[in-house]
Amino acid sequence: MLTVALPKGELLKNSIRLLQAVGLDFSAFLDAGNRQLQIVDASGKAKGLLVRGQDVPVYVEYGQAQLGIIGYDVLREKQPQVAHLVDLHFGGCRMSVAVKASSPYKSPLDLPAHGRVASKYVNCAREYFQSLDLPVEIVPLYGSVELGPITGMSEAIVDLVSTGRTLKENGLVEITTLYESTARLIAHPLSYRLNTGNLHQLVEDVRSHVLATV
């Protein structure tokens, strides 16, 4: 039986809607009273796993799920050994550098050498500032990253931005974008190569549906 890892949170509703369009129904995950983390599609063809977003590529990489749906930001940060198959064109957001609106920094290169940058995306932040040849200290934060500059703990943050409202409400502004992120369909490489559970057909059905709706 094919297993699909689905992310809790903002991508879940669109992920389930997409899979419904290609014949897999995991809508029970959206029921308010649902506590199950694993359900079987009514057709009996596939099983859905409901997992934390950061864990989706882990389940796929280790073969517990043959398919998964997750944001490109997680793939960039974790760099798992998975096959990147389809850009699903939902869950759009961007990875940005932001600073206090009152600060003198108008671009990342204005930041002081050996200054601090707070981020939950430690690898992405480090890679970006290394590409600028600007030595900074990356401070790992996993809660409200915006507090870094507000409290003076960091000069800047690297974080995922959707509407920009949270930044604005906390007196922060974006000064550059590292990359754009959308939801992606990923697969366990060996399962995809071996066409486990007729995986190729399902992926083609997803690709066709996405192209028809973009």
Kindly report, residue by residue over 154-167, the tens digit of the pLDDT: 999 999 999 999 99
The whole-number pLDDT of residue 34 equals 84
The whole-number pLDDT of residue 214 equals 79
- By the 8 A CB rule, do 119 and 140 touch? yes
Element (H, E) at 172: strand 172-181
Please state the pTM of the whole predicted model: 0.93
Q: Please identify every stretch of the chain with a pLDDT value under 50, giving residue numbers as ranges.
A: none
Question: Coil, strand, or helix at residue 18?
Answer: helix
The whole-number pLDDT of residue 33 equals 87
The whole-number pLDDT of residue 193 equals 96
Could you give the C-alpha distances from 90 to 69, 86, 141, 145, 180, in angstroms and in order? 11, 11, 26, 24, 12
The whole-number pLDDT of residue 128 equals 98
Phi-psi region of 114 (alpha: psi -120 to 50; beta: other; left: phi over 0): left
The whole-number pLDDT of residue 202 equals 95
Tokens of 126: 């480090």
Q: What is the DSSP letter of 112?
A: P
Q: Which residue has the tokens 């192209």?
A: 211
Among candidate residues 45, 50, 7, 44, the one with its CA nearest the CA of residue 28: 50
